[in-house]
Amino acid sequence: MRILVRDINDPAERLTQGVRGGVDIIDLSNICSCAFISTQDTGRLLDHGRFMIEGVSPAATYAAVICSCSDPAAGRMRRSG
């Protein structure tokens, strides 16, 4: 597994150790499904291959609020049968 940190405003820009940004996860051993996840979490790379997750991107939180307020049915589970 490899963790990368990206600039929140420019997803193509990779950040260096110690700088806070969006967290991307690459599963290097995954061959049968999606090997790359671009999360809405924020964090930073630390030394010796370590990393820290610090929270959820403020933009992600805002988008979730907008979504749930604009669609009253959002998040409701439907019963089948």
Domain annotation covers residue 17: yes
Q: Scan for tokens 């609020």, then name that residue.
A: 65
What domain range includes position 64? 2-70
CATH number at residue 51: 2.30.38.10
Higher pLDDT, 19 or 28: 19
DSSP result, 16-56:
PTT--EEEEEE-TT--SS--EEEEEEEEEE-GGG-EEEEEE
Domain annotation covers residue 78: no
What is the tens place of the pLDDT at every residue in 22-49?
Answer: 999 888 787 777 788 888 899 999 999 8
pLDDT exceeds 90 at position 11:
no
Determine contact, residues 25/1, Cβ cutoff 8 Å.
Answer: yes
Domain annotation covers residue 35: yes
CA torsion sign for 8, 9, 12, 16 is negative
pLDDT exceeds 60 at position 6:
yes
